[in-house]
Amino acid sequence: MAFPIFILAIIIGLLIFSPLGVVEKGARRWLEIFGFRFMPSDLIKLGSIIFFAAFLSNKKDRISTLLYGTIPGLFIIGISCGLIYLQKDLGTTIVLAVTLMAMFFVAGLKLSHMFTLGAGAASLLYFAITSDSEGNKYRMERWTAFLDPFADKLDTGWQAVQSLYAIGSGGLFGLGLGKSRQKFFYIPESYNDFIFSIIGEELGFLGAFVVIFLFLIVIWRGIVIALKIEDTFGCFLTTGITALIATQSLIHIAVTTSSIPTTGITLPFVSYGGTSLVIYMAAIGILLNISRHINLEGS
């Protein structure tokens, strides 16, 4: 069912550019059908991982070849990531690209091909940030704000500065659950893109550490499952789901701590958003289903 799932995800993603697509804050990333609003990009992420795992499993003996491995794999990655990029969602594009490349690497992608693809991806990222087109200027502003957020803390650096204020004021034990001050009109999207900032403010360093530790447990168990499963499709699928959770969690936490430029990335299982929660819980369900077929005792 991998191919039908992928095609369905692509079709749903393309519906964004139909009258069903919803534009908010200058971005067309949502679909509204029968009163229900959701983000197709989350469906594309999981659908792409499932289909790419099937592709890598079928081509496992020829993954290292340019004609039968690298080029077709790059084509799949380009379609999946390109559709999300057209939604003006560079952050999610990067998350999915890193996830699929991690699967590609585990499957046996030649290092020379990987370095070439990495250089090409870096060039595309540079172009996406520095492009002078009207719709891309905000990316350059975010990069400038990242270099020195306090230089323009009332405008372009506002989100990063307020996030740092929130985490810093939490101290060791935090202000107490529900007692955040920064979530009241200071941090935009505090319940979503900057939820980790609020965790740091309300629960302090210890609470933030616990959240990170829980993510590390999930990631570690995913790695154990991938190492122990004998089925190649299950191995690549587990790798993709684990890489997706790891990459998105890392980017979200890095954004809230101003370690990378600001981008709208949710924290899996924590941020507000029904589509994200359903998709990530479905992904964990797939992991649990795969783990039923292996012996995890002592792992």
Residue 148 has pLDDT above 60, yes or no: yes
Tokens of 294: 């292996």
Please state, in angstroms and rounded to a whole number, the distance separating the CA atoms of residues 284 and 138. Answer: 34
Over the stretch 80-105, which tens digit does the pLDDT of each residue have? 999 998 888 888 999 999 999 999 99
Q: Integer distance in angstroms from the first to the last C-alpha of the chain?
A: 31
For the chain, the average pLDDT equals: 87
Please state the length of the chain.
299
Please state, in angstroms and rounded to a whole number, the distance separating the CA atoms of residues 84 and 14. Answer: 10
Residue 76 has pLDDT above 60, yes or no: yes
Averaged over 208-222, what is the pLDDT? 96
* pLDDT category of residue 298 using cuts at 50, 70 and 90: low
Could you tell me if residue 58 is left (phi over 0), alpha (psi between -120 and 50 degrees) or otherwise beta?
alpha
Rg (CA), the chain: 20
Residue 134 has pLDDT above 60, yes or no: no
Over the stretch 45-57, which tens digit does the pLDDT of each residue have? 999 999 999 999 9
Tokens of 55: 């592709």
Q: Give the H or E element holding residue 32.
A: strand 27-33
More confident residue, 40 or 244: 244
Spatial CA neighbour of 96 closest among 76, 111, 110, 114? 76
Give the start-to-end residue ranges of the domains of the chain: 1-130, 141-299
258-273 burial, b if ≥16 CB within 10 A, otherwise e? bebbbbbbbbbbbbeb
* pLDDT category of residue 9 using cuts at 50, 70 and 90: very high
Residue 139 has pLDDT above 80, yes or no: no
Q: Write down the pLDDT at residue 132.
A: 62
Q: Strand, coil or helix: what is 21?
A: strand
Q: What is the pTM of this model?
A: 0.89
CB 279 within 8 A of CB 45: yes
CB 175 within 8 A of CB 181: yes
